[in-house]
Every structure is written in structure tokens, then in C-alpha cells.
Amino acid sequence: MKIYVAAHCRWAAHYVALVLGYSGHEITSGWIYTDFKPTDQHDESERAGIAQDDFDDVARSDALVLVAGPDRYPGGKFVETGIALGMGKRVVVIGRRENMLIWLPAIRQVDDPHAAADLLNQEAA
């Protein structure tokens, strides 16, 4: 299964991607593997390109795994989750449900990346 990992923390996303990858899933979130620069260090053209790349990565996935943070963090992970939901993709959240949208009945919640991998493996079978 092709999975997009959405998270506020790059290191948490990288760990989740490793667990999912070892479980046989293909990770589509290219942002995890690129050098990070804050948004204000990109020009307008670069920002548009990065946004399109992220959108395309979500679009080519079969499912999205959202990594919850310990606190409330705004950011692209919620936009990416909304894109996935709008496209009818499976969404799994690891950790707590950070906001009201994440309580949609279609979104499954698990406690750790291994449980996410198991759930997605069952659904892929």
C-alpha cells in the first residue's frame, strides 16, 4: 500500500515511515527525505512547487497516516489530512485526536506506528 505520512515533526514522521516501510508499505511523502528550510527562507515559486509536490504525494497514496503531536501544532499535516479525506483515502491517526476533524468516524486511531502498520496490512489483504 502507498502511504503518505503527515506530521509536524520530521523525525517522528521519519520513524513512522521506517516502521511502515519495513512492513512492506511504500512511503509517498517526499518531504520527509528532503532538507528542511523554514517557509520564509523559500521564495514564492519554491513555496508553490513544494506545495504542489506535497499535494501530488498525497494524491498518489492509498492512505494517509497522521502523527499526532504532544501539543496542538498548526500546520500542513491537517491540510494534507483534509486532502486525503476529500479524495476518499483511508486515514489513520497515531496518538491522540488533536482536533475535531480527527473525530470523523472514518478516521481510525491507533497508539503507535506498529499498530498502524498492522491495521493497514489487514486492510490491504
Residues in Cβ contact with 2 at an 8 Å cutoff, skipping those fewer than 6 apart: 25, 26, 27, 28, 60, 61, 62, 63
Please report the pLDDT score of residue 120 as a whole number: 96
Please report the pLDDT score of residue 80 as a whole number: 94
User: Hey, where are the domains in the chain?
Assistant: 2-124
Whether residue 47 is predicted with pLDDT greater than 90 in this model: the reply is no
Which region holds residue 37: left if phi is over 0, alpha if psi is between -120 and 50, else beta?
beta
Query: pLDDT tens digit string along 101-119?
Result: 889 999 999 999 999 999 9
Summary mean pLDDT of the chain: 91
- pTM metric for this prediction: 0.92
Please report the pLDDT score of residue 16 as a whole number: 97
Query: Once rounded to an integer, what is the mean pLDDT over residues 30-58?
Result: 86
CATH tag, 2-124? 3.40.50.450
pLDDT confidence tier of residue 92, bands split at 50, 70 and 90: very high
